Amino acid sequence: MKPHIVLCVTCILLGAGCAFDQPVKHSDDAGALQEDDEIKEIPGIIDQNDIPTESDVEVIEPDPVKLDMLPFHSKLCTDDPFITEIGSGVHPIDAKYGDLYFLGQLFTAARCGQGRVNELWGIRDGMYVVGSTISLKEPPDEEMTSVLRWIGFTCDEGIGDGVCTRWELTDEVPYENLLYLEPFHNRIEADDCRNCG
């Protein structure tokens, strides 16, 4: 190979290598190039500025929920509620609902029947009046996002629904609406009342 060809190939390769190692440069208002301290766009990492605050999931009414009803003589349906220090009753919660407190009581009572639901603290005239805050184990898929938004939940983190793990319900809603979350109970890490202070 001729010397001037080797020199050209070497320059091209060295130039390409240098280009990959250089920080990104931008022009400031005066036209001078400024170096960034670091490259901000890293594949697989979500830039907080790129997270949408609106959801593009279509919200539709969920399919009816078919609850696994409990036998009327089940202790979950017949045991008296535990009375707390502030005087509210805590009804038995099926162990399958894990750490769900208010929703755990509601899901369990609903599987016992309407009469048991009416006994719950937080239920008034068929309405769930204490609101709800839920923490999810991971961001919801489109189906769960649609259900949450249909019920009236909104993201409590100021980020897009598809990456949100903390949701809140501030309005009073028919308690039956919350039952649409029962099939998703194993995706909910914890819950609390929102309007109970």
Q: What share of the chain is helix, strand, coil (3-state, %, to 5)?
A: 35, 15, 50
Distance CA(61)–CA(64), nearest Å, equals 9
Whole-model pTM above 0.85?
Answer: no
Tokens of 97: 């609902």
pLDDT tens-digit profile, the chain (197 residues): 555 544 444 444 445 444 444 444 444 555 444 544 443 444 444 454 444 445 678 999 999 999 999 999 999 999 999 998 888 899 999 999 999 999 999 999 999 999 999 999 999 999 999 999 999 999 999 999 999 999 999 999 989 999 999 999 999 999 999 999 999 999 999 999 999 86
Domain limits, the chain: 48-192
Distance CA(36)–CA(23), nearest Å, equals 6
